[in-house]
Amino acid sequence: MEDLFREKPSSFNARLHKGRIEILQVNVGKLCNLACVHCHVEAGPAKMRENMDQKTAEAVIRFLDRFKIKTLDITGGAPEMNPRFRFLVTEARKRNVHVIDRCNLTVLFLEGQENLAEFLASNQVELIASLPCYLRENVDKQRGKGTFDESIEALKLLNCLGYGEKDSGLVLNLVYNPVGPHLPPCQAELEKDYKERLSRDFGIIFNQLYAITNMPITRYEKYLRALNQYDSYIELLNQSFNPVTLEGLMCKNTLSIGWDGRIYDCDFNQALDMEMRNGKPFTIFDLNLKNLEGTEILTGNHCFGCTAGAGSSCQGALQ
Ligand code: SF4
Ligand code: SF4
């Protein structure tokens, strides 16, 4: 059992430890066709430099083999824009590794990605797709004008291929994150609303909704500060600290790999350059996973973003 807070803390000082690593989450880079205001990796169309190369992608596959990892979770940026994306997917699938693609949906309509949806379906890639709201105004406000309509078209295309259909083996999960500086509402209730609205308005189906709390770091921190809402948001996260969420935190069973092969406890630590090290940084090229179990996770006040309210992780609420 972790050390738990007895009272609501003002700084995050819970001691967390790595458990058995079950998921390798690989951030292949910061290149993205969008530049959303809440983006904790500060991705965007100009981020050409920070992207995974072939040598590192091959090291990822060797790592899957060596440590018998069963889930590869590929994120970015828009991970599909990295030329190594399809290599990672096909090599992982050859090994029967479950692959997750964190997809912004609009990427399906980029030049050069015409057969992307079919590629994902034929490899039975699970999609975790961002759709911060079922209302056009809110999505366009957070992700850019026209994003909602393109996302809806992408979801229809994915449904046509069988994504979201029960027993099709093609899983389509959606991600909600708040448009304003507040916590997500109840995930189950929101999923019901999403299913009703998307089905009624557009005939769209999907499997699950993940409600994710916005992290007050990097680009979202700057956005909140510009609106003079940073301090009140931090206060809200602190005051909403829920010790029950500590048990299920994703940093315990996930290892996060950066575009250059460096290793982190989670994608948020990666965005903050809080790399795992033992004298020198661990990398995918030389890491022995067995040495990690039981080691202490690097934490900071941003961890309140994962532990507020119902908790938050890349798989949605923790409670
Ligand atoms: S949140 Fe996702 S879609 Fe938006 S800029 Fe960041 S990586 Fe791209
Ligand atoms: S930000 Fe969240 S996932 Fe990352 S170390 Fe902190 S609690 Fe764990």
pLDDT at position 5 over 50: no
User: What is the arithmetic mean of pLDDT over 251-274?
Assistant: 96
Q: What is the DSSP letter of 176?
A: E
pLDDT at position 7 over 60: no
Q: Which of 106, 114, 125 is nearest to 173 (CA)?
A: 125
Q: Which residue type sits at 7?
A: E
Q: pLDDT value at position 2?
A: 44
CA 136 from centroid of its chain's CA atoms: 22
* CATH number for 138: 3.20.20.70
What percentage of residues in the chain have a pLDDT greater than 90? 86
Confidence category of residue 291, pLDDT binned at 50, 70, 90: confident
Cα separation, 112 vs 114, whole angstroms: 6
Q: Whose CA is nearest to atom 8 of ligand 2?
A: 251
User: What is the arithmetic mean of pLDDT over 202-229?
Assistant: 95
Ligand 1 site, residue 39, Cβ cutoff 6 A: yes
- Terminal Cα-to-Cα distance of the chain (whole angstroms): 17
Q: pLDDT value at position 6?
A: 44
Residue 29 dihedral angles phi and psi, to the nearest 5° = 150, 180
Residues 6+ apart with CB under 8 A from 23: 69, 71, 72, 73, 250, 253, 254, 255
User: Residues 235-244: pLDDT tens digits?
Assistant: 999 999 999 9
Cα(290) to centroid(ligand 1), Å = 33
Closest ligand by atom to 216 CA: 2
How many CA atoms within 13 Å lie on the side-chain side of 245? Answer: 22
Cα separation, 58 vs 205, whole angstroms: 35
Domain coverage including residue 56: 23-307
Residues with CB under 6 A from ligand 2: 249-251, 265-266, 268-269, 297, 299, 302-303, 306
Q: Whose CA is nearest to atom 3 of ligand 2?
A: 251
Closest ligand by atom to 81 CA: 1
Domain count, the chain: 1
User: What is the arithmetic mean of pLDDT over 94-118?
Assistant: 97
Report which of residues 6 and 160 the model is more confident about.
160
**Secondary structure (DSSP) of 90-145:** HHHHHTT-EEEEEE-SGGGGSTT-TTHHHHHHHTT-EEEEE---SSHHHHHHHH-T
Q: What is the DSSP letter of 213?
A: P
> Is 111 a member of any domain?
yes
User: Residues 145-202: pLDDT tens digits?
Assistant: 999 999 999 999 999 999 999 999 999 999 999 988 999 999 999 999 999 999 999 9
Cα(311) to centroid(ligand 2), Å = 11
> Is 165 a member of any domain?
yes
- Average pLDDT, rounded, for the chain: 94
> Is 96 a member of any domain?
yes
Confidence category of residue 108, pLDDT binned at 50, 70, 90: very high
Q: pLDDT value at position 280?
A: 86
Ligand 1 site, residue 43, Cβ cutoff 6 A: yes
Q: Whose CA is nearest to atom 4 of ligand 2?
A: 266
> Is 313 a member of any domain?
no
Question: Exposed, middle or buried by CB within 10 Å (0-12, 13-18, 19+), for 7?
Answer: exposed
Confidence category of residue 142, pLDDT binned at 50, 70, 90: confident
Q: Which atom of ligand 2 is nearest to the CA of 269?
A: 4
Closest ligand by atom to 219 CA: 1
Residue 38 dihedral angles phi and psi, to the nearest 5° = -95, 5
Angle of helix 230-239 relative to helix 218-226, nearest 10 degrees, comes to: 120
> Is 314 a member of any domain?
no
Q: Whose CA is nearest to atom 6 of ligand 1?
A: 39
Q: Which residue type sits at 176?
A: Y
> Is 18 a member of any domain?
no
pLDDT at position 295 over 90: yes
> Is 54 a member of any domain?
yes
Closest ligand by atom to 45 CA: 1
> Is 117 a member of any domain?
yes
Q: Which residue type sits at 114?
A: E
Q: pLDDT value at position 8?
A: 58
Cα separation, 104 vs 78, whole angstroms: 7
Q: pLDDT value at position 104?
A: 97
User: Residues 112-137: pLDDT tens digits?
Assistant: 999 999 999 999 999 999 999 999 99
Cα(78) to centroid(ligand 1), Å = 7
